[in-house]
Structure 1
């Protein structure tokens, strides 16, 4: 294959990305047997949990049910009992070259994951599937708007850009204006960030008088938040940048991404099925669900050798659809709309389900909103939803009144008449996020406890 032919073809790995489904399933099962044997022989955790499993007897997709689920709580508890890395790794830090963690936003000690040199090469390879599918080529200049700390974030993407051959600019610990200036000065054509930070960069560029849509950036690679697949958020990002936005999703637990949205298939993320088996299960029963039903994704990874991952319950909500629906030649199944949200995202307010992703879709759809926050409070004996809105700085009082009325009506209509109390926040009052945005705060339990204490001491 000539260099030009390689550049023109849409697949990073044409052989496996277009493999017939039957052959793809055989490949997955062969890798599953090998991974189970490896984990059982070397990992203290899997030696115990897979004691009754014979890897050679894993001959069909149904045989996955012989493997127990792994939960985040189990992994964290293992770290607590056997610090600092727990019993999942097949070897200690002396065999690894890197350690990364989850973001630690839950308040507990974050998960810690060890990786070998081979693991990191594999992580970069997974990102190459996504980057190439997004249209990124060796001639591109990739800017990684990321802090490069212990959180795994875009470390793998950085490696993928380098492996692909693109000039890679690490936008480390800098202010947002400095990053915007570097994007312009280096002539970046591809920018990687969270969806929230892509909006923040665009807002800052506008304040600096920089016309992003007229610049050379043609692709934004989004990851880290479900917002990358929210049509309203994606449309806003694409309008502000004048560039195509593509969604990806991964997790620290596997060191890289699992799925990607190619440039010619908006609205769905292909699972990289030659390296993963992904199940969709009922969050309550653990029963595998058929195509088209929303459930929790369960991940089995074949590539991370130092910390194997078998049937890991991710708590991500997804809807899987057949590969044929894509129509782009790939035989990998898709998650329709990427990651929809989290199993624990849903909040019940006076009998109505409130999802942060659904609220964001409505907020981004009205325009004129710089940032927002959702607060659930218990006021005067009942639950209420407070929505703090930071409108564009040029918004007049009349403009705010119209915006609040329109947004309030849309939110109520989408939530069975539930009223959202809209409050105007001052310019730059609400927090901005470089990594995962945290826009929902539930104060109800704390307020109820405080009220009970007040009554008891009265």
Structure 2
């Protein structure tokens, strides 16, 4: 990528402003190329694509000829052919980086290999998002992330460097140490999960560091759907005195696939010149139209060592056309970013409960430090409990009003389902640096 003009709002105007017809043809050409590459080199794809002729994939309707890839298949491949399975096109001798999924779901982490070319591509994807959020070479970027095998913000770190921003890796430190570095180094951009952004803000208050009037102007969020929950985003912006921008990706693709543009806070652009995204009905596997909630399916054109073709992500999204934004970008958006997971939904006494919907309500109230959702079955019926840890400024009178109002809003939003709202002691609930786990289902497995 050539050096960017700093007042240019697009990282790659050629493709970000490309006509939809030309973009569709570009995607199909790249799809044929990645199909041929994977079929010729990957043992897994050699089998699954045996009946697929890449040259015959000429329209979007032809995608139905290509089988889906599921996490379960990938896991089974790793177990049968440890440690990396049969998806990679080469062994570790040709790779330079190994990453795993976070493991926060309790499932065995997936392992993925990347080459130097793959890793350069990952940084490029982050540049789209960072530049779109207004990050420029004169910025100081602080990455509040415990660097490890989880892919996390590795690509963002490289993207900041590629843009030319001074980049500070914030690994292997306490939260207090990170807050002090953000302050001492004059960071103008901070990257973290939404949950950890709130934890950093709380720590800054304890230390007497004024974030609102400090130099941070942009907070780049990833790792949790909360980055696009309006109430959580607004809370982060109030605590930091900065704009918050959501991004979403996954280890399986090695980078982000969408980002919030500066002019469209309610949606995330799909990086459509490098990824082909579909939204399907989770039950039937058929593609659905704009405005309908469904499961996103991802095909990557840039990751070559571990190809990703029609991967069922289990992410819930609502796709809307590019005309929903005023930037001029021709890429479609996911309204509200990733709004949850197919497997996140819990059925409690006949009512669907989504953690993201609960968070949207809880974050709308001041004075809440942390929360947890617990579902149990002590007798013959399900019970759901919300533990709220209020800030130390919330006295007994304020707590009574807070718990009553939260409980009423939860019931209104969940068809009358009553949540037991209980006060947690200061510091009782866990804090998270990476992906938060705020729902525990204690019911016996069926």
TM-score bracket, normalised by the shorter chain, equals over 0.9
Corresponding residue of 1:45: 44
Corresponding residue of 1:380: 379
CA distance in 1, matches of 2:400, 2:200: 27
CA shift at 1:258, angstroms? 0.2
Corresponding residue of 2:34: 35
Residue 162, structure 1, aligned to residue 161, structure 2: yes
Corresponding residue of 1:452: none
CA distance in 1, matches of 2:199, 2:14: 39
Corresponding residue of 1:327: 326
Counterpart secondary structure, 1:153: coil
Counterpart secondary structure, 2:6: helix
Deviations, residues 375-426 of structure 1 (Å, cap 9, x unaligned): 0011232101111000011211111101011111111111111111011001
CA distance in 2, matches of 1:6, 1:32: 31
Corresponding residue of 2:104: 105
Would you say the 8 A contact 2:138–2:165 is kept in 1?
A: yes
CA distance in 2, matches of 1:327, 1:298: 26
Deviations, residues 280-310 of structure 1 (Å, cap 9, x unaligned): 0000000100111000000000000100000
Counterpart secondary structure, 1:318: strand
* Greater mean deviation of Cα atoms: 311-320 or 107-116: 107-116
Counterpart secondary structure, 1:430: coil
Write 1 or 2 for the structure with the bigger share of helix: 1
Residue 124, structure 1, aligned to residue 123, structure 2: yes
CA distance in 2, matches of 1:118, 1:62: 30
The TM-score, its normalising length taken from structure 2, stands at 0.99
Corresponding residue of 1:219: 218
Which blocks of at least 5 consecutive residues in structure 2 are unaligned?
Answer: none
Corresponding residue of 1:235: 234
CA distance in 2, matches of 1:249, 1:433: 18
Moved >2 Å (runs of 4+): 105-109
CA shift at 1:107, angstroms? 3.0
Residue 407, structure 1, aligned to residue 406, structure 2: yes
Corresponding residue of 1:364: 363
CA distance in 2, matches of 1:223, 1:104: 16
Would you say the 8 A contact 2:367–2:393 is kept in 1?
A: no
Which blocks of at least 5 consecutive residues in structure 1 are unaligned?
Answer: 450-458
CA distance in 1, matches of 2:366, 2:214: 23
Corresponding residue of 2:424: 425
Counterpart secondary structure, 1:328: coil
CA shift at 1:104, angstroms? 1.4
Counterpart secondary structure, 2:415: coil
Corresponding residue of 2:209: 210
Corresponding residue of 1:308: 307
Counterpart secondary structure, 1:6: coil
CA distance in 2, matches of 1:327, 1:41: 42
Deviations, residues 334-357 of structure 1 (Å, cap 9, x unaligned): 000000000011111101111100
Corresponding residue of 2:82: 83
Cα RMSD of the aligned pairs, angstroms, is 1.2
Deviations, residues 15-64 of structure 1 (Å, cap 9, x unaligned): 00000000000100000000000000000000000001111111101111
| Pairs within 5 Å for 1:277-288 | 277-288=276-287
CA distance in 1, matches of 2:397, 2:42: 63
Corresponding residue of 1:271: 270
Corresponding residue of 2:19: 20
Corresponding residue of 1:294: 293
The TM-score, its normalising length taken from structure 1, stands at 0.96
CA distance in 2, matches of 1:377, 1:32: 46
CA shift at 1:270, angstroms? 0.3
